[in-house]
Amino acid sequence: MEQEFIVEIEELSNLGAGIAKHEGKVIFVENTCPGDRVKIKITKQNKTYSFGQLVEIINPSTHRVNPFCPMQKVCGACQIQFIDYKEQLKIKQQIVKDYSRNLNLEVRETVPSPEIKGYRHKIQYPVSETKNSKRIIAGYYKPKSHEIVNIKYCPIQPEICDEIIDYIRENAPKYNISGYREKSHSGILKHIVIRSSAETGNNLLVMVINDNKISKQIKQFGEDIYNRFDKISGVCVNFNNKKTNLILSNKTQILCGEDYIEEKLCGITFKIGANTFFQVNPKSAENIFQYVKQYIKENFESPTILDAYAGIAAFGIVMSNISQKVVSVEENQESISLAKEVLELNKIHNVDLYAMDTAKYLETTEQKFDVTILDPPRKGCTQESLDGVLKVTKSKIIYVSCNPQTLARDLEYLISKGGKVNFIQPFDMFCHTYHVESVAVIDLE
């Protein structure tokens, strides 16, 4: 322990740490890049691997660049921004390969994001306040901590979001609105959430409060913010007075304006509310939707499609004009209500919406589908859900995943039940992070 020595960084782990080897043992070193020659010291040892701390970069990798964000080293959001973008794409392809190594699958080259700055259109900042001055702070947590980095400027999100958050920081105390203090579970403002439209530039602001009612001060402050910014289409309050890591509860109330923003995807305008799931990078999401649509169009003529874990039924709605029938299933009632409005607005009549748990729908339905599109949360699917999908799907499953670990687990199960994985196509949805979105095509015939 604490001994210093020099190692070569060979590759990146699935969590973005550099991997080196010394005397036959794997060492994980954060803030390093494949090709770096570095001096490190061991900070923690296990039987088969160790953790090292970077002491000095002896020879930097040719892939190492200066991060464009001055807060990159202290903020936990963009873990690999110091690596050039082409190498980031290769790293993400390798991460997907590593997780699915035992399955011997084709993993294609990562499709880049159309934008690598200003791409993030959902912002969720925890809020607190300083101990003595009671100054409001808001930003991301430092890595492996609940210590907030007070972010004034973030180049991966629209500039208007920085302006809105800074206004809240500076003016909340004038309305006697305190920041949340996690240890004592006191204070009012817990999180600032902004849904920002890439299409219109409009923003939906959600103030998450440690309360179950709207005070006079919160109401006045919300009206102040709404009147201050032309590009805020609505201000909402979300009530979350529980000790939990969950940011948004299921109870949201509109204060001013509209309780949604509009976003365009593949020529269709969608409505996104406070609790609605929608991809944080709309332009990269459009790449995925177009890719899936083109694949279905090339392999089927007017198929029936199940859109499972549907959110606002974006996949189902985008696929509607190449399909005979689409069934979209989503347990969040707000998302289904917004999807219904989109269907009516666009005069789409071949998409059926079910506001229910996907597993329950699969258990009870008698319908059969040519294609099932699975887009589950990070935890992936249960075996019961996968069994249900296998029961109702005649030809192909298209699995869209934001977690290569649970994707590999679920693909292994589908293979054990007779499925054949044609390929995995990674997409860069979360630039400068180790996260990667993937599309896997599974053949059941």
Region of 356 please: left (phi>0), alpha (psi -120 to 50) or beta. Answer: beta
Contact 118, 158 (CB under 8 A): yes
Write down how long the chain is: 445
Q: Are strands 351-354 and 325-329 parallel, antiparallel or unpaired?
A: parallel
Instruction: Single out the residue of 434, 443, 428, 357 nearest to residue 114, CA to CA.
Output: 428
Q: Starting from the edge strand earliest in sequence, which strands make up the sheet with 136-141, in order? A: 148-150, 136-141, 122-129, 189-196, 203-209, 232-239, 252-257
The closest of 221, 225, 148 to 191, measured between CA atoms, is 148
What is the CB-side half-sphere exposure of residue 308 using CA atoms within 13 A? 31
Q: Dmax of the chain from CA atoms?
A: 68
Q: How many angstroms separate the CA atoms of 411 and 331, rounded?
A: 24
The contacts of residue 83 (CB under 8 Å, 6+ apart) are 33, 63, 64, 65, 91
The residues annotated as belonging to the active site are 402
Q: With 0-12 CB in 10 A as exposed, 13-18 as middle and 19+ as buried, what is 258?
A: middle
Interacting residues of 246 by C-beta distance below 8 A, sequence separation 6+: 240
